[in-house]
Structure formats: C-alpha cells, structure tokens
Amino acid sequence: MSMQSIVTPGDKVCVEEEFIPQAWTYAENGDVRALVVGKPVFDIINRRVYVKPLKNIEMPKSGDIVIGVVEQMKDEIAIIRLIGYDANRTFKHSFRGVLHISQASNTRIQNLYEVIRLGDVVRVKILNNYIPYLVTMKDAKLGVVEAFCSRCGAPLYRDKSKDVLRCKVCGNIESRKIAPDYAYILHK
C-alpha cells in the first residue's frame, strides 16, 4: 500500500488485492491508479480506496437528472457519455453512465434498440454515487430528447399522432422512449 501524500493521474495508489478502487481511481493490470491530482484515502474496514481531489470537482450524484449521448450499445447494456445537467451546465470532466435494459422502460422490451439508438441524446437519472454511474430512463420525464435517422443521419421529428419518430429526408419511421420535451416536432 502506498502512503503518498499527493498523487497525480496515472500514479499507482495500491494494488487491487489490497483495496477496491472507488471514486477518482481506476484499475489497470492489477494496480489501482489515480484519475486526478489529490490525496489517496484508504478505508481499512471496507478495503476501499479513493482519491480526494485537491480541487472541488462537480460530480453527478444519486437522484440527479442529466443529459448524455449514447456512445456504445448492445442488446441489454448501453454506455452513455454524461454531458451535464443541461446545455448551459455541462460537466468539466467526462463521466460515463451504464443503462441496463431493466432500467430503460416501464414496459417489457426485447432489447435496448426498441427505446434508444447509438448517437441519441437522452435525459437520464443517476442511481448511485460512484463510478461507473448506473442510470435509468423509467420516469415519464426521461428518455430521448434528440435522435437522428438510422438510415440517412437526418434529425428525426416526433409524430405526436402515432408517438413515433419520422425522418423528413428518407421517410424512415423509428421508435424510441421519447421524452416529453423532444427537440423536433412534426407539424403537418
């Protein structure tokens, strides 16, 4: 175990066998390393380690509603890059959220592609206080706020009469879990 007073990003803090990495740390090849400049804090009882940043870093916390972009997807899991609380209050640092299929919709779905797609801008709720963040879209005010056509890349417009998204360029129709304040509305 390292008893350094200050660590910088990439510095070895300890090994994974000694402590479980928590906030502002990550594991690499069995070593726990620092993500930020700060002081390592060792929780001897719970066998956890985190780095207390020297500068106050705004981090999302449980219950926060945030905006993100879907970066990676599989049938049951999506990785979302969390941008900020809204367009005017973005995070200075990059955070990732994990959306499991069980947290994507109140109704049963076969896979995540029924409710979100790669590149969608989504509003999600944070469920925990540590990295990786677990997120949900189950609340009625959460979901996709901006989406683009899977065929041509043009913006998708919300057709309120059928509650689907329609592409004005190629005519493609797609389904998503649409947030109430979706960006583009189709006016007939």
Residue 79 lies in a domain: yes
User: Would residue 3 count as lying in a domain?
Assistant: no
DSSP string covering 130-177: SSSEEEE--STT-EEEE-B-TTT-PBEEEETTTTEEEETTT--EE---
123-166 residue pLDDT tens:
999 999 887 899 999 999 999 999 999 999 999 999 877 789 99
- The tokens describing 44, both together, are 């001897």
Angle (CA) 131-134-135 rounded to 5° is: 135
By C-alpha distance, which of 137, 142, 186, 181 is closest to 164? 186
What is the residue whose two structure tokens read 């929780």? 43
Residue 174 in tokens: 């797609």
| Whether residues 33 and 103 fall in one domain | no
pTM, to two decimals:
0.75
Residue 6 lies in a domain: no
pLDDT tens digit sequence for 35-90: 889 999 999 999 999 999 988 778 899 999 999 999 999 999 999 999 999 888 99
In this structure, are 80 and 114 located in the same domain?
yes
φ and ψ at residue 120, rounded to 5 degrees: -65, 145
Q: Is the peptide bond before 180 cis (omega within 30 degrees of 0)?
A: no
Do residues 135 and 97 lie in contact, with contact meaning Cβ atoms separated by under 8 Å? Answer: yes
Residue 29 lies in domain: 12-53
Residue 23's CATH number = 2.40.50.100
- State whether 142 and 68 are in the same domain: yes
Q: Are residues 71 and 97 in the same domain?
A: yes
